[in-house]
Structure 1
Amino acid sequence: MAIPLVVGIDGSEASLEAMDWAADEAVRYSVPLHLVHAAAGDREPSDVISAASERARGRAPRAQRSSEVLHEDAAAALVDKGRNAFALVLGSRGLGDLAEMLLGAVSLAVAARADCPVVVVRGAAEHRDGQFGNVGVEEGEGSGTALQFALREAQVRSCRLTAVHAWNPSPRALTTRPAPSWYAMEAHRRPPSQVLDGALRGLAERYRDARVSSRVIEGPARRARPWGLAEQPVTLST
């Protein structure tokens, strides 16, 4: 049996929009869709999951669907479900006190801890299946899963993907405390273009139909914004 695509539901409009995206994704990959509503302190089964399930049925009537209500911390529950999931899909903002943040507390916690790819859906619906995508590539093995996920999505969606490597040429990066990692030191021994080429080379055969370009940006990764590409409404993380 195929492992499910799991979507977190809390009753917010953002989570329902994430469910719409997840339903389309489940159909695209022919995987089951599993809806999870988790909240510590809920004493009675919530109708939140029922309404979301009905919406999923209307969105993807042929998709295999299941759902459950868990009376536990939402982030912990979703991370646990992610240990056997095709991916986790979440809305960018929930119903809690941090609802006005760009990325909600649960989404941020799950993205940081999950073992599977995490998709945080945000932005206007008409932009969620655009023709461009970006993926960050770092030195070492840490970005391999993210790159593979991005290539898979680019290939199945027939969109253009830019692999971006941001690097800091300053020697000060090697003298900061705590001591720099082996990967940080090795990055200053290899040309940045080699980092990208090495990461892409092993996946090129598997995703030969993906349209991929690469770009090296000098400076901190958190400030990198590839030239010519609009901000993407779907955040990919692994």
Structure 2
Amino acid sequence: MVQPVVVGINGTAESLTATDWAAEEALRRDLPLTLVHAWDPQRLANVTLAMAPDAQQTVAARLVRDTEERVGARHPGVRVTGELVTGPEVAGLAERSEGAALLVLGSRALSPVLGFLVGSLGLKVLRRTRCPVVLVRGRDQEGGTAGGDIVVGVQDAGEAAAPVLSFAFEAAAARGVAVRAVRAWSLPTVFTFRPSTIRRADEHGGLEALERQTLEDTLAPWRERYPRVPVVPVLDFGSASEVLLSAASDAQLLVVGSRGRPGGGRHIGAVGHAVLHFAEVPVALVTDNT
């Protein structure tokens, strides 16, 4: 079964930017595109000046149809279908993400200081899904990042990094650009100190050298699997979120990992929250296989 690229739409400028991004990604991957708009008749039921349910449904259906036509006009060749889902947006998007290759959501820019508004709805959708999710900023199309690298955070080592590296290398191969693999390191604290780590660091010539070797060892099988994708390892001292945000300033996509929950969904984590709110480029959140 072919897995589609799914994008949530609601008629806003941010939604349209996300739709354009999703359409281009569907073309690159030769996948169908599914537009999903959730119409919740209960949401406005108690609002004094709300339209009647039939009128609301008509407007919602028109939004889906107009967006589908817009995609057809702007992105010829995309196999696009629109779906009007009845019920809460979070549940509707989470359900449609099951079996999807990718879920794309829009986000609104606030200011250079405050960052971007992911919103409670976006965070709820992220927490309930397991497929890769890309958050696209409302101004990404004007950001001049189309020719940038794919930046990926490599905080896990070995096989644990496979899901996030697989996504990043596939994205880079499809675009014909390099992967910039970024790993942050810091001195161990009293809570993270391990004698075995210090012994290994001494064998490699210090903690920084050990971290660099760990990064190279993790990337080695991916270099072999994607020999035509240039790889730029980046090791920097500092917090993971700060290092990633700095490295991704001119990227066309930032890829970070998240932890899966045993009962479904994902745990975003502190680094994920930081890049989702403050990165100025599209962010892909990829869940591990746990």
Q: TM-score range by the shorter chain?
A: 0.7 to 0.9
Cα contact 2:148–2:250 (8 A) shared by 1: no
State the Cα RMSD in Å: 2.8
Query: What do residues 199-228 of structure 1 show as CA deviations (whole Å, max 9, x unaligned)?
Result: 212222222211111111222212214767
User: Mapping of 1:1-238 within 5 angstroms?
Assistant: 1-41=1-41, 43=53, 44-45=57-58, 46=60, 47-93=62-108, 101-122=116-137, 123-126=139-142, 127-140=144-157, 141-174=159-192, 191-225=210-244, 230-232=249-251, 233-238=281-286
Q: TM-score, normalised by structure 1?
A: 0.82
For 1:113 and 1:196, the matched residues in 2 are separated by 31
Answer 1 or 2: which has greater helix percent. Answer: 2
CA shift at 1:92, angstroms? Answer: 1.3
Q: Which amino acid in the other structure matches residue 33 of structure 1? A: L
3-state secondary structure, aligned to 1:172: coil
For 2:116 and 2:31, the matched residues in 1 are separated by 31
Q: Which runs of 5+ in 1 are unaligned?
A: 95-99, 176-183
For 1:7 and 1:187, the matched residues in 2 are separated by 44
For 1:142 and 1:78, the matched residues in 2 are separated by 28
3-state secondary structure, aligned to 1:204: helix
CA shift at 1:142, angstroms? Answer: 4.8
Query: What do residues 24-77 of structure 1 show as CA deviations (whole Å, max 9, x unaligned)?
Result: 111111110001012433642512212211111112232212121112332332
Cα contact 2:140–2:282 (8 A) shared by 1: no
Q: Which amino acid in the other structure matches residue 234 of structure 1? A: P
Q: Which runs of 5+ in 2 are unaligned?
A: 43-52, 110-114, 202-209, 252-280
Q: 1:214 to 1:186 in 2, by over 3 A?
A: farther
Cα contact 1:90–1:120 (8 A) shared by 2: yes
For 1:143 and 1:10, the matched residues in 2 are separated by 34
CA shift at 1:172, angstroms? Answer: 2.7
For 2:195 and 2:283, the matched residues in 1 are separated by 29
Aligned to 2:47: none
Q: How many residues were matched structurally?
A: 225
Cα contact 1:35–1:66 (8 A) shared by 2: yes
Q: Which amino acid in the other structure matches residue 65 of structure 1? A: V
For 2:195 and 2:108, the matched residues in 1 are separated by 37
Between the aligned residues of both structures, percent identity stands at: 32
For 1:185 and 1:84, the matched residues in 2 are separated by 44
Aligned to 1:179: none
For 2:197 and 2:182, the matched residues in 1 are separated by 15
CA shift at 1:87, angstroms? Answer: 0.6
3-state secondary structure, aligned to 2:108: coil
For 1:111 and 1:56, the matched residues in 2 are separated by 25
Query: What do residues 52-107 of structure 1 show as CA deviations (whole Å, max 9, x unaligned)?
Result: 1111111223221212111233233222222201111111139xxxxx94323333
CA shift at 1:195, angstroms? Answer: 2.9
3-state secondary structure, aligned to 1:174: coil
3-state secondary structure, aligned to 2:249: coil
Greater Rg by CA: 2
CA shift at 1:15, angstroms? Answer: 0.7
Q: 1:117 to 1:218 in 2, by over 3 A?
A: same
Q: 1:60 to 1:228 in 2, by over 3 A?
A: closer
Q: TM-score, normalised by structure 2?
A: 0.68
CA shift at 1:8, angstroms? Answer: 0.6
Mean Cα displacement is larger for which, 126-135 or 204-213?
Answer: 126-135
Query: What do residues 153-186 of structure 1 show as CA deviations (whole Å, max 9, x unaligned)?
Result: 11211222211111232233427xxxxxxxx998
